[in-house]
Amino acid sequence: MGRFLAVTGVLVLAALPAFFLTRSVHGQAAKTEDIPYKIEFDPADVVISKRYENKEGLFITIKFTVVLDGKGQQINSADYKIAIEEEGKEVKRIDVPAPKPSEDLSVIMAVDTRGSMKGKRMEQVRVASDTFLSKLPGRADCGLILFNHEIRETIKPIVKREPLLEAIHKVQPRGGSAFLDAAKKGLEMLKGIPRDKALVLITDGIDLNSKATVPEIIALASTKKDKIRIYTIGIGEPGKLEQVSSVLVLDHSGSMSQPADNNDPTPKIEALHRAAVRFIDMIPYTARTTLIPFSSGVDTPEPFSNNKSRLKKAIQGLRALGETALFDAVFEAVCTLEAENPRGKRVVVAMTDGVDNISRRRVEEVIGRAKEAKIPLFLLGFGREGELDDKTMRRMADETGGQYYYAPNEKVLMDIFENLSIKIHDDGIDEETLRKLAGATGGQYFPAKNVADLQFILERVTKDIQKQFHEVTFPSRFQVDDGRQRRISLKLLHGDRVETEHKTQTQVHGVVIAEMNHLVYLVLLGILGVLLALPTWVKRAS
């Protein structure tokens, strides 16, 4: 019995600090009928506490939106105020910003049309775009950017929706992705327009080709003259940023000087230059590759690299001459990957236009080595069917977990290299970058893991971009980095009456300094004394 009482006392003692120290966060505290204004305030995203390089002290920033009730009543905004409190004390009082008409708006839609958008994703984008444009205010302007690894088409902000829909419905996905360059172009198109401005960016992958940077985009969207909110939508699963190491095994034998077929006068070696360069253009920064050109012999590979300029220069320098040592070259590629022993995914991509006629290695050796190393072989046959050993190449691919492709002309070869690069390197969306672009510019990021949700998401975006966002920054009442949470209140006042109130907390960086009421200490000491004396009392009682 004594042991039971002692344990119970210890549990009570352990629970008391949590009981006394726990604090709750409240949302909207009051509602009054017929309030002409509505303040929208998301505590999770809109309260920031930080120190600035060019300002002394700790500052707190609050972001909120003001929306009319939609009843069209005449309102004297001077009758309403917004009061901001920190730890129960008012620190700032401002007039309610007058909401602007929702038609006073210019928007740019930037739609990714990279190869991975083929099929259902692009179909859903078309349906969702119809909804988005139909829900925009009738007098609002909207422009369009269609992009992949380059800007494919632009339409400046206009009131008419038909040209935008026509462009979206006829575009065919292909290529890589440069969504940062597209975002920059959209911001430049909106620059100087005397309206509320927003950019809606839709993509399903990581940026492969942009020259623009994230800080550059954020700075361009945040100038005093042109504040532009960026709304980002990521279709699919977040990427794992897995490293991919590949070896491009490229045939430059003498037969590559001939055209692929009678309808295509371009020499195969020139078609290879362009197609292999497209493959390189589409590799992400997490990928590394090297080249093994071959003809009568096998060239020594350079170190693995993601330097696209150097890799493309090496490809464009290939000249057609010699015989075809395909097996030796593929065997060397597998050995190169084994010796490097990189982390992540490893693949070999080999292209030839003929039959191996000079290798020392047998095909069984190549397959055995690739299977042992667990490296898939992707084989590309380019040219006339009767001049290719497609049966052997298909066997090499099938038995190692890769795939065989046949290209009768340059266009098909280009598509194969492009789609293969997507297949090998596609790792999902760059959610971190999309969140950063939205969060830093007052917009919002929307994940669309299920592409069927895209229509609903774009409908939400249409409503959100019609809101006007406001920021208020003030010096904190407590200029100490103590690691504590500060209670913040945002009140809508009509005269002296509080119409609505929002409450939240903001976390200050630093080391938490524990404090407790003196009465709590006395209670805890009393309980501790009882627990210490408890065994003696129990012993006497028994």
% of the chain beyond a pLDDT of 70: 81
Last residue of a domain, one of 425, 456, 481: 425
When the pLDDT of each residue in the chain is averaged and rounded to a whole number, the result is 84
Do 488 and 437 share a structural domain? no
Q: Is the pLDDT of residue 483 over 90?
A: no
Instruction: Give dist(CA 133, CA 368) in Å, integer.
Output: 56
Closest CA to 230 of 437, 522, 91, 42: 437
Question: Residue 205's CB: how many other CB atoms inside 10 A?
Answer: 26
Structure tokens at 418: 């492009």
- In this structure, of 26-35, 155-164, 242-251, 313-322, the range with the lowest mean pLDDT score is 26-35
- Average pLDDT of the segment spanning 62-87: 71
**What is the pLDDT at residue 526?**
73
- Residue 21: pLDDT above 60? no
Task: Say yes or no: 279 and 413 in one domain.
Answer: yes
Q: What is the arithmetic mean of pLDDT over 309-319?
A: 96
pLDDT reading at 306 higher than 80: yes
Among 255, 265, 259, 196, smallest CA distance to 231 is for 196
The reply to whether 381 and 366 lie within a common domain is: yes
- Give the pLDDT confidence score for residue 164 in this predicted structure: 96
- Determine the angle formed by the axes of helices 308-316 and 268-281, rounding to 10 degrees: 170
Q: CA-CA distance, 58 to 27, in Å (whole number)?
A: 25
Under the banding of pLDDT at 50, 70 and 90, the label for residue 18 is very low
Residue 65 sits in the same domain as residue 84: yes
Measured CA distances, 193 to 98, 108, 163, 165 (Å): 20, 12, 20, 23
Report pLDDT for 425: 85
pLDDT at residue 208 in the model: 80
The torsion angles phi and psi of 535, rounded to 5 degrees, stand at -60, -40
Task: Look at residue 43 in the predicted model and tell me its pLDDT.
Answer: 61
Residues 313 and 393 placed together within one structural domain of the fold? yes
Tokens at 6, concatenated: 């002692």
Beta strands at 345-352 and 377-382: parallel, antiparallel or unpaired:
parallel
At residue 39, the pLDDT reads 75
With contact defined as beta carbons under 8 Å apart, do 217 and 246 qualify?
no
Same domain, 254 and 345: yes
What is the rounded CA–CA span in Å between residue 348 and residue 393? Answer: 13
Contact of 318 with 250, CB cutoff 8 Å:
yes
Q: Are 345 and 372 in contact (CB under 8 A)?
A: no
Spatial separation of the C-alpha atoms in residues 500 and 82, rounded to whole Å: 10
Same domain for 15 and 157, yes or no, is: no
Is pLDDT at 213 greater than 80 in this prediction?
A: yes
CATH number of the domain within which 448 lies: 3.40.50.410
The average pLDDT across 496-511 equals: 76
Question: For the CA atoms of 143, 453, 42, 469, what is the dihedral angle to 10 degrees?
Answer: 10
Residue 341 domain boundaries:
244-425
- Between 75 and 344, the more confident residue is 344
| Interacting residues of 198 by C-beta distance below 8 A, sequence separation 6+ | 105, 106, 107, 108, 228, 229, 230, 231, 443, 465
Higher pLDDT, 342 or 192: 192
Q: Is the pLDDT score of 479 beyond 90?
A: no
* pLDDT tens, residue by residue, 397-407: 999 999 999 99
Q: How confident is the model at residue 68 (pLDDT cuts 50, 70, 90)?
A: low
Residue 253 and residue 396 in one domain: yes
Residue (of 206, 221, 200) closest to 176 by Cα position: 206
Higher pLDDT, residue 483 or 465: 465
Radius of gyration of the chain (CA): 32
State how many domains the chain has: 4
Give me the residues paired with residue 328 across strands.
none
Give 362-388 pLDDT, tens digit per residue: 999 999 999 999 999 999 999 998 899
State how far Cα 460 lies from the chain centre: 19
Query: Chain centroid to CA 43: how far?
Result: 23
* β-bridge pairing 151-158 and 196-203: unpaired
pLDDT at 288 over 60: yes
Is the same domain home to 285 and 399? yes
- Higher local confidence (pLDDT), 218 or 99: 218
Residue 431: other Cβ atoms inside 10 A? 17
pLDDT (mean) for 108-114: 96
Which CATH number covers residue 43?
2.60.40
Question: What is the pLDDT, as a whole number, of residue 319?
Answer: 96
Give the model's pLDDT for residue 104: 81
Q: Do 254 and 341 share a domain, yes or no?
A: yes
What's the full length of the chain, in residues? 542
Is residue 476 over pLDDT 70? yes
Tell me what pLDDT residue 75 has: 53
Residue with the larger pLDDT of the pair 259 and 26: 259
pLDDT tens per residue across span 125-173: 999 999 999 988 888 999 999 999 899 999 999 999 999 999 999 999 9
Note the helical H segments in 115-213: 120-135, 162-170, 179-190
pLDDT reported for residue 90: 92
Same domain, 474 and 451: no
How much is the pLDDT for 16? 43
Tokens of 464: 């959100």
Same domain as 410, residue 263? yes
Highest mean pLDDT among 64-68, 138-142, 216-220, 494-498: 216-220
